[in-house]
Structures are given as structure tokens and as C-alpha cells.
Amino acid sequence: MKGEGVDDHGGPYSQLFTDICLELQRINEDGTPFLPLFVPSPNNVSGQGLNQEKFVINPILPPEDTHLRLDYYRFFGKLMGMAIRTNIPLPLDLPSLFWKRLVNDPVNLSDLEEIDHATTKLIKELKSLSQESFEARYSDNPLYFMVQLGNDEVYDLIQHGRHVTVNYKNLTEFIDKLSQFHLTTSIERQLSAIVSGLETIIPVDCLNVFTPQELQIVVCGSPEINIAMLKERAIYEDVNPSEPHIDYFWQVLEEFDTEKRCQFLQFVWARTRIPASGLSMNLKIQRSRKDFPDHFLPTTQTCFFSISLPTYSSIEVTRKQLLYAITHCADMDNDILLH
């Protein structure tokens, strides 16, 4: 791949999908998203509730940037379609609300609570208040028919809503408008753009045959990596599976948590998830013929799902070298010179 420190065939193509997803979900040091398409869930921002690791579609569409932003969402839809076509899972952390909307499933307050505990709590409290309790609580600090978004953005839930006070008579309308905004209205144009891009690659009508959970697995694969299954299907080239350094290798992989296993998969296959259809290749383990093997890192050919493993002298050395490799050597970059 031009401009990148990579020498492989199919691996860099798979790695590109992973890198794009990582950028879509990267947060700058100042807490702002690296790219403006997806933002951390409200639960992440508030530090309350479930699914704080999830990202949601950015509800803000700047007037001066709307056309370009929607083009980006269309490109993201194409990326999803290409991932489905090529069976390359995308490491995305998107909530059930997103997948439900794609398969045209109804959404409700439970879906909102998964990502926005504070708003859901407010809606539930408003529904439970008597007129006396409502007026006592909001007479001095009234609510208005508007939603405050980031960067002082205000969205009117009705015409001139920022100037319309919520009272007990129109409370039901306010609750309905507020719920509708967070569940549908706030991301309607963005989601339509994603579907528009998706349908250039696959027939979107077929999405309706999936449940939200099934579509998520089809697009994103599974982060759960079964080491016993990898070991059972492994093939060995110029090395005996009973050799000590091979045993050290499998012991270290079994020690890894889910995050480390995903890093290993990226290092050896340029993907961090197992596709919905399962592994299409068997892990190939080869001998790395090096003098002083403890001084060398393992190397991989991601397009062949292959790892060349030095004959490490102990499990401690194996753990150290493998951890360093999967942490520091899994990216495509142009910081190295290939001879």
C-alpha cells in the first residue's frame, strides 16, 4: 500500500477497515471526537448508566457543513456494505438503537436508556408527576420546548420552542416531542445518508430479514475469540506442535483477556473481530529461524493468517515478546524502511 510500511497482499486491505473504524471512535486529548460523525454516548459523558463505551451518531449537523457531513455518512454506509460483501468485520461500538433503526424495528425508551440515562430518567419522572408536584418543581425553573445540544446548539421541539414554556397541560406533548427527538428526529438525516450509501453496495430491503442483533454480528463480527478453537484448527509448518515454544505460545494466548485477544487477531490477521460466518482460514504457525531467538519478535503475514514464531526459551519471554508485538507492531505506518 502506497506510503505505508507494509508488505502484504490482502492484509492491508482488511487493516484499512479497522483503521477507519478506530478513527471514527477516537477521542482527542481535549475530549472532542477525532472525527465528527460519531460521539461518545451521553452515558459516557455523564459517567452514569450502561454502555458507556458506546458511540452514537452525532446529532449536530452544522448548517455551514451539512452537505459535506452527510456525504461522510453516505461513505460510512458504503463502508458497511463493503464490509458485509467482503466478510470483513468492522470493530464498531454502536448501540442497539442504531441497529434497530437500520432494520426498521420500533424503538422505545428502553433503547434510549441504554445510552442516555439522564434523559430517560427525566422523561420517567415527568410522566409520574401530579400537577401539584410538577408546578412545585418547575415553577421557578421552567422547562422549554427545546433541547440543548453541545456547543450551545439549541433544537426547537416545536416552532419557536425555546420561547414556549412547558406547563402541565402541554406536558404530554413535551414528553412525546422530547422522546421522538432523541429516538428518531435527531439522527434522521444522518441515518438516511448511511442507508443511501449502504444501498449502493447491497440491497437494503434484505436488512429487514435480520434482527438488530443479527445485523450487528454480520457487520461487526464477534469480539469473543475462542483460543481452543484456534488451537484445534491451527496448522504447523516446519515446526512440531509439541515443541515447548509452541506450548508457551498457546498458554500465553489463553491468559489474554478479550482486548488482548483482539489485538492478537489484528496482529496476525489485520482484523479485531471474528466474522459472522466464522474463520475462513486456519492459523498457520511457522518456525522463525533466528540465532538468539529470545531477542526477536514474532512476525506475521496477515493475508495468510500466519505467524512466524521464534523458539523462545520460556513462557516469560514468549509473553513479553508477544505482548510487545501485538501492542506496538500491529499498525500500518510509514515509519520504517523496508529493504
Active site residues: 303
- Beta carbons within 8 Å of 158's beta carbon, 6+ residues apart: 145, 164, 173, 177
Question: What is the length of the chain?
Answer: 339
Using an 8 Å Cβ cutoff, are 72 and 108 in contact? no
**Alpha carbon 52 to its chain's center:** 12
CA 196/CA 80 separation, integer angstroms: 11
C-alpha cell at 138: 418547575
Query: How do beta strands 284-288 and 306-310 pair?
Result: parallel
CA atoms within 13 A on the CB side of 145: 20
Tell me the three state secondary structure of residue 235: strand
Using an 8 Å Cβ cutoff, are 35 and 28 in contact? no
Triad 318, 322, 326: Cα angle to 5°: 175
CA 294/CA 317 separation, integer angstroms: 7
